[in-house]
Amino acid sequence: MLEIRTSCENCNKELPNDSSDAMICTYECTFCKNCVDDILFNVCPNCGGGFEKRPTRPKDNLVKNPVRMDKVSKPVIENRFLKKFKNSNPRKR
């Protein structure tokens, strides 16, 4: 089951279930679109993968499978993955 994290790990921007700004990597690390584009350059600082738009969980399923309520905060300063993959296609890393 996909974990729905409700804030950006870098800037703490709120990203509720229905947010169109939520981006995730293959390990469900969650960042806002602005951080992905302007700070991370589409490189996940935790795994080196790329990001995709996070899907929205249907409201009827939120009772049985709620969003994650605690925040994951890992502000990005400098990162080995950013240096290595900044200019490469995520599908070819």
Q: In this predicted model, what pLDDT tens digit does every residue of 45-85 receive, in sequence order?
A: 999 999 999 999 999 999 999 999 888 888 887 777 888 88
**Does residue 90 contact residue 40 with C-beta atoms inside 8 Å?**
no
CA-CA distances (angstroms) from residue 71 to 21, 29, 32? Answer: 17, 11, 14
Listed by start position, the domains of the chain span 1-85
Burial 80-89 (b: 16+ CB within 10 A, else e): ebbeebeeee
15-52 confidence digits (pLDDT tens): 999 999 999 999 999 999 999 999 999 999 999 999 99
CA torsion 49-54-57-63 (nearest 10°) is: 60
Q: What is the C-alpha separation between 83 and 86, in angstroms, rounded?
A: 6
